A and B are shown apart, each in its own frame.
Chain A
Amino acid sequence: MCKKIVALLLAMAMVFSLTACGGGSSSGKEGSQSNSDELDWTAGADAEGGEVTIRFSTWRKSDEAYFQEIIKRFEEKYDWIDVELEITPDASAYYTNLQADLIGGTAPDVFDMHSGDTMVTYIDNGMIAPQTDFDYMANYSDTGKTATSLDGENYGFLIAYNYFGLLYNKEIFNKVGVTAPTTPDELVDVVNKLRDAGYDGIIYPGKTNGVGIGSAIQLGSMGTENYATLRKGIDDGSVVDISTAEGVTEAFNTLVTYTKNNVYYNAYRGIVYETGMTLFAQEKSALVYSGSYVYGEQDTYFPEIEAGFFPIPTYANNGLCYAEGAQVSCINAAGANLGAAKLWVEFLATPEISEYYCSNAKMFSTIAEVEPQFEEMEMIKNACSGYAIKPLEKFDNEMYWMSGLEKIYEATIYDGTEDIEGLIRVYRSQLEEYDLANQ
């Protein structure tokens, strides 16, 4: 018995001592964003320092040939720098590797990211070098800045952006005698006519996109500024009743209308992106929800189909498209050759390279006055009255409010819950309980 007590006491002592060890490096909660002045931007910036190699990573396997061409041109211009291209085609595996490399100090000098939460976390921890003073900023569009800037600093170069909406099979539309709809009710009518002709509803890859269509419709209904203001307001506790924000009710009503009228393809919650494109290619349906970047991969996904594009109609009735950044090139703040990395990003942002990349990948440029040349460009642009892009956002209380908001999307997209006021009321009481203004 005595031995057992001694063993228990020793175990407790060990755990206690470990608890004490864990706090060794504790400090305040504020982040440690990189300061541009403290970084050595001269390393690898000129030929005097000798030859250097920088690593550039991305998940864009379909753009490998374009990147190889850009690297060739870059190495011709800056002959002391070699660029090693590292591609991990699966985006989730790409992020797992990137995080492990960042922790282990072996991350590439320049790495691509999506504009979003992970990028904010890395910025917060000083892992991404600011690019605010870079030359390209003079030509960088507001669209780019919205997706890559935080608290007045710019942390990456968004090489391109895409419109999100519905791709439709022009041949089937002509055969059935329908045209691209502009209101939710028209879209319901179009889907019904297509169903009567033997085609299924809108292919929504719900499994890959999650509540993506919810964000798309909300951004399309509200516009970037109202969307950002609402989310900031929820986060700082100044907004508890989200129905007061412009476009919110219209967005949820749109989602409910679509679900209630069964406009989507069979079992859309279980559809992954590739399956969705296969079903579209097989002409099981004439409509698929996707980003316009898919035109760059048309030979892979739907080579035989002539596809049109229109924004998802909403009750806001503003014709706005939801737009999303493609990939943001970020500089590893701990990289050994920051000067060379800077030259690479500046090179990516030159008008010639921007036009070359966007024209081939069939995306839209973030550099002022660069008009990429690809067949579908005018058609996509003309289909939308404008676009709303998701901003780079940093929140302090996200863990309290984000899942509740997503639950409303899920209820409207997947369950078609009509009691939107009830959902918003429940959400309001949650926000009031959390009292985020005083967190």
Chain B
Amino acid sequence: MTGKNILQIARKKYNKKWKYILVTLPILFFYVLFSIYPNLKVFPMSFYDWSPISSIKTFVGWENYNLLFNIKRDLTVERLGNTLMYVAGLFVIQTILALVLALVLQKNTRKNTFFRAYFFLPMVFSTTMVSMIWAYMYDPNLGIINTILGVFGVEGYPGTDFFAQNAQAILCIVFVHIWANIGYPLTILVSGLNTISGDLGEAAKIDGANNWQTFKSITFPLLLPTLFRLSLLTVTTGTLASDYVVMIGTRTGSVPYETLASWMYKSTAYSTNYGMTSALGVIMFIILSIASLVQFVAIQKIENKILG
């Protein structure tokens, strides 16, 4: 290869690189302007006493954090606990349910295609619609769940408020979340299962392995990368989920099952203390960053160990 050729290849590579940068530049500009910049702006905002309806901003140092960690400590702790319950519930139940459904509906038969679409269907309904329907169904006195249980003579029904206790309320909302969104993890897991070569399963069967052994030793380890990516998404979605919490309790004043995200949303929509809301955003950012980092490192280590 002559020096001239090397120069041409280098120039081509250089031009190609700049082409990519030029193509992505406009979208990068808007991404930084409307996503990165506002998110970073939350950090300085959390040190001010300010309201969006006023031009007056007062630097208050750590006062907004003091408000969250000392003055409103009970609320912060309760809502952090609710958030953790929400994430844990979503993570465990949704992952297991989606995995079971994916295994059942893995093969591309007509019946399975129908059921995959069936489970995906609630995803096209609006969150408001889903929340309103379920809020009416959960109603302690007129809701269908209470009424049916009452008809079957279960003691205390109708008249049971599913949202009277934090854990029970969170579980009820998580159930709605899963009902409405199970189609997404299901689709990802079915795709993940379909990337696993059928030859491996057949070979295992020839060697005498039963279904459970095949799943445990072949399918599950090979599906782990997909499950790990899914878990990252689930934890993030669960931590930031405010829509179902807000809307199912939309006609309530203060609710005992508020999460950090719904608290942040309500503070933004109905209060004018945006300094405290920003501090809440920073705290959630830190929690989520740590959780994601831990998950990411753990995933890397486990993947390296299992998949070599």
Identify B164's interface contact among A24, A209, A267, A279, CB under 8 A. Answer: A267
CA distance A14 to B75 in the complex (A): 32
Nearest-Cβ distance from residue A298 to partner chain B, whole angstroms: 20
Chain A 1-36 per-residue mask, 1 if CB under 8 angstroms from chain B, else 0: 000000000000011001111111111110110000
- C-alpha spacing A416/B8, complex, angstroms: 85
Cβ of B192 to closest chain A Cβ, rounded Å: 33
Chain B positions 36-70 with a Cβ under 8 Å from a chain A Cβ? 40-41, 43-45, 47-49, 51-59, 67
Q: Which residues of B contact A207 (CB under 8 A)?
A: 251-253
In the complex, the answer to whether A271 meets B141 with C-beta atoms within 8 Å is yes
Check B270 against A92 for contact (C-beta < 8 Å). yes
Q: How far apart are A411's CB and chain B's nearest CB, in angstroms?
A: 13
A55 within 8 A of B: no
**Inside 8 A of A405's CB, which chain B residues have their CB?**
none
A138 interface contact, C-beta 8 A: no
B53 and A103 contacting across the interface, CB-CB below 8 Å: yes
> Separation in Å of the A416 CB from the closest CB of chain B?
14
Surface stretch bound by A, among B91-99, B112-120, B153-161, B231-239: B153-161
| B81 in contact (CB, < 8 A) | no
The answer to whether A127 touches B251, judged by C-beta atoms less than 8 angstroms apart, is no
A265 within 8 A of B: yes
Cβ-based interface call for B71 (8 A): yes
Q: How far is the CB of A438 from chain B (nearest CB, A)?
A: 15
From A94-102, A149-157, A229-237, A303-311, give the one contacting chain B. A94-102
Assess A27 versus B56: contact at CB under 8 Å? Given A270-B140, A270-B161, A270-B164: yes
> Given the interface contacts A18-B41, A270-B161, A403-B72, does A99 sit within 8 Å of B53 by beta carbon?
yes
Q: Judge if A269 is at the interface, Cβ distance under 8 Å.
A: yes
Docked CA distance A28–B250 (Å): 36
Flag if A266 contacts B251 (CB, 8 Å). no
CB distance from B148 to the nearest CB of A (A): 16
Q: Which residues in A have their C-beta under 8 angstroms from that of B49?
A: 29
A272 touches B251 (CB 8 A): yes
B interface, how many residues as a size bin? 35 or more
Expressed in whole angstroms, the Cα–Cα distance for A279 and B56 within the complex equals 48
Residues of chain B within 8 A of A18, CB atoms compared: 40-41, 43-44
Given A18-B41, A25-B57, A28-B56: A92 and B164 interface contact (C-beta under 8 Å): no
Closest to B158 in A: A266
Query: Among A22, A25, A125, which residue has its beta carbon within 8 angstroms of that of B53?
Result: A125
Q: Is the Cβ of B164 less than 8 Å from the Cβ of A26? A: no
A278 at the interface (CB under 8 A from B): yes
Contact of B161 among A15, A25, A267, A278 (CB under 8 A): A267
Whether A22 contacts B47 in the complex (CB less than 8 A), given A208-B252, A266-B158, A269-B161, comes out as: yes
Judge whether B141 and A279 touch: CB under 8 Å.
yes
What are some 27 contacts across the A-B interface (CB < 8 A)?
A18-B41, A22-B41, A22-B45, A22-B47, A23-B57, A25-B55, A25-B56, A27-B57, A28-B58, A29-B56, A31-B56, A92-B251, A121-B51, A122-B53, A125-B51, A125-B56, A210-B253, A265-B141, A267-B164, A269-B161, A269-B164, A270-B141, A270-B164, A271-B141, A272-B139, A275-B142, A403-B75
Given contacts A121-B53, A208-B252, 10 further A-B contacts (CB under 8 A): A20-B44, A26-B58, A28-B56, A92-B270, A103-B53, A118-B270, A208-B251, A267-B164, A269-B161, A399-B67
Interface residues of A (CB under 8 A from B): 14-15, 18-29, 31-32, 92, 95-96, 99, 102-103, 118, 121-122, 124-127, 207-211, 265-267, 269-273, 275, 278-279, 284, 399-400, 403, 406, 434
On B, residues with C-beta under 8 Å from A are 40-41, 43-45, 47-49, 51-59, 67, 71-72, 74-75, 139-142, 158-164, 250-254, 269-270, 272
